[in-house]
Amino acid sequence: MAVIKKFLYVNRKAPHGSIFALESLEVVLIGAAFDQDVALAFIDDGVYQLMRNQDTSGIGTKNFSATYKALGDYDISKIYVEKESLDLRGLSKDNLMPLTWEDEDDDWAEKDSIQVVSSTELAEIIDNQDVIFSF
Amino acid sequence: MKFGIMVSAGPYTHQASDTAYYFTEAALKNGHEIVRVFFYHDGVNNGTSLGVPPQDDRNITTRWSALAEKYDLDMVLCVAAAQRRGLLDENEAKRAGKDVSNMAAGFNISGLGQLIDAGIQADRLLVFGD
Domains of chain B and any CATH numbers: 2-128 (3.40.1260.10)
* CATH number of the structural domain spanning residue A66: 3.40.1260.10
Q: Is B21 helix (H, G, I), strand (E, B) or coil?
A: helix
Could you list the beta-strand ranges (E) of A29-105: 37-42, 78-82, 100-103
ipTM: 0.81
φ, ψ (nearest 5 deg) of residue B78: -65, 130
Q: Average pLDDT over chain B, rounded to whole?
A: 96
Let me know if residue A22 belongs to a domain.
Answer: yes
Is the pLDDT confidence value at B108 over 60?
Answer: yes
Give contacts of A20 with chain B, Cβ < 8 Å: 41, 130
Q: Average pLDDT over chain A, rounded to whole?
A: 95
Let me know if residue A1 belongs to a domain.
Answer: no
Q: Which of A51-55, A56-60, A80-84, A120-124 has the lowest mean pLDDT?
A: A56-60
Q: Are A39 and A7 in contact (CB under 8 A)?
A: yes
For B47-91, how does the pLDDT look when each residue is reduced to its tens digit (9 = 90+)? 999 999 999 899 999 999 999 999 999 999 999 999 999 999 999
Q: Are B44 and B75 in contact (CB under 8 A)?
A: no
Report the Cα A71 to chain-centroid distance in Å. 8
Nearest chain B residue to A5, by CA: B120
pLDDT band at A47 (very low <50, low <70, confident <90, very high): very high
Nearest chain B residue to A19, by CA: B41
Tell me how many domains chain A contains. Answer: 1
- The pLDDT of residue A2: 72
pLDDT band at B46 (very low <50, low <70, confident <90, very high): very high
One-letter identity of residue B3: F
Distance from CA of B65 to the nearest CA of A (A): 25
- The pLDDT of residue A1: 56
Q: Which domain holds residue A124?
A: 6-134
Residues of B labelled as active-site residues: 78
**Identity of the residue in A1, A13, A30 whose CB atom sits nearest the CB atom of B120:** A1
